[in-house]
């Protein structure tokens, strides 16, 4: 799925909101935006659907090794 300029803007705004800090481990290195509700499955391209993660935590979330949701 091709993502355009609006998607990039939303990703950037989400990372700025989170002060470029991984919301799992607190790292500021190699941060990325992660969709809480999968973009490819219809999740909103909106900053409320983005959480900032470092590359390692992002990979661990996708592998199912780390959960973003705490109850």
**pTM for the complete prediction?**
0.84
The answer to whether residue 2 scores a pLDDT higher than 70 is: no
Whether pLDDT at 3 is above 60: yes
Exposed/middle/buried for 26, CB within 10 Å: 0-12, 13-18, 19+? exposed
Domain positions in the chain are 5-62
| Structure confidence at residue 4 (pLDDT) | 78
Residue 15's nearest CA partner among 1, 2, 31 is 31
Identify whether the C-beta of residue 29 lies closer than 8 Å to the C-beta of residue 12: no
- Under 8 Å between Cβ of 37 and 49: yes
Q: H or E stretch including 35? A: strand 31-35
Average pLDDT over residues 26-49: 87
16: enclosing H helix or E strand: helix 5-17
């Amino acid at each position: 799925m091709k993502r355009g300029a609006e998607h990039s803007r939303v990703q950037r705004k989400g990372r700025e909101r989170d002060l470029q800090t991984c919301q799992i481990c607190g790292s500021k290195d190699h941060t990325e935006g992660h969709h809480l509700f999968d973009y490819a499955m219809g999740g909103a391209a909106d900053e409320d659907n983005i959480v900032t993660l470092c590359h390692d935590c992002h990979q661990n979330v996708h592998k199912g090794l780390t959960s973003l949701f705490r109850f």
